[in-house]
Amino acid sequence: MSRKNDHTDTASLENFLRPVVEQFGCDLEAADIAPAGRRRLLRVLVDRDGGISLDDVADVTRAISKALDADDIMGEGAYTLEVSSPGVDRPLTLPRHWRRNKNRLVAVTLTAGGKLTGRIKSASDEAAELDVDGKRQTVAYADVAKAKVQIEFNRAAGNDEEETPADGTVEEN
C-alpha cells in the first residue's frame, strides 16, 4: 500500500514510530513533518525517566532511520530526520512530564483562572504536589490549563537534590 508523501498525518506517523522508540525504553513525545525547501523535515522528540543522553538519541535515530527506510510511510520525497529531546520550554501536559521535573520550579495557570508558581515535590497519575512559598499544595492535572518549567539562573545545573541551607561560612581558594 503506497502512501502519498504529502498526506502523512501525525497520528499515523506517531503510531508507526512509537514501538521503535519504546524498544529503547523511551517515550515518543511528538513527531511532526514540516516543509523545508524542496525537502521535508521530520522532527521526532523522545524522552524517558532519568533523561536521555546523546548516545541514546543516536541509537534511537539509527533505529528510526532503519524503520523508515524499510517502509514507505514517508513516501518518495526527500526528507531530513531530526531526533532530539524536548527542551525545558515544553509544556507539562502528561503526568510523566511532571514526574521528570521533580524539584524544578513550575508556573501553573489554573483552569479556574488563578496562577501559582511552586517547586514540584512529587507527582502521581492524577496530581502534583508543589511547594508554593513554603506551603505544600496539591494541584490536580484536571485543574491545570497550562504549566511550564521556569528557568532558574541561580540554581546549579543538574542540582535537583534537596537544597541544604548554607551555614554562613566562606571558603577561600
Greatest extent of the chain over all pairs of C-alpha atoms, in Å: 71
- Which among 105, 68, 104 has a CA at the least distance from the CA of 83? 68
- Which among 49, 53, 79, 77 has a CA at the least distance from the CA of 64? 79
pLDDT of residue 58 exceeding 70, the answer is yes
Overall average pLDDT of the 48-72 stretch: 91
Measured CA to CA, the distance from residue 58 to residue 66 in angstroms comes to: 12
Which residue reads 533523561 in cell numbers?
51
Model's pTM, two decimal places?
A: 0.68
Q: Tell me the pLDDT tens digit for each residue of 90-122.
A: 889 999 999 999 999 999 999 999 999 999 999
Question: Residue 82: what pLDDT?
Answer: 94
Overall average pLDDT of the 130-158 stretch: 87
